[in-house]
Structure 1
């Protein structure tokens, strides 16, 4: 049975403190927030390619990229994956400032 993951809320993200080793706060759907020992917080998404290999997307640093923005980026990446496009290799779907380009 799959483990149910409750989505992150801004209060959880803000209260995440650095530890001795990097750790992860999961949001669901492959999206997570990585908290480093220096206190940096990075948005990442883990997914599988068509050939079965694992891959990751980086969406930016919190608070530069908010929870709402990263959810929009995750949805865009999932749509690209469903269309058979590897968003990790095709960065042209993302603009220079890191925001998702519209179709």
Structure 2
């Protein structure tokens, strides 16, 4: 078992030895990860709004980040540096034509 925390788990993704997923343990959607080599669970994004639709590749985790009902964007987390970045909503990027999945 990857996580025995209460709440639903949603849309896991795996790259090498790291599993990431959406997690509803705190009464809203957050992003958590688990390192299969070290057997360590860790929080990636926990905020007052919700974070979901997570994907991982290499040392980069991307997820949909809703800071409010009007403020949606893409959150980026670097597993090595543990730094976060935020990018504006895809609907503001006309070249995406409404198609996006982190």
TM-score, normalization by structure 1: 0.29
Q: Judging by fraction of residues, say which structure has more helix.
A: 1
Q: Judging by fraction of residues, say which structure has more strand.
A: 2
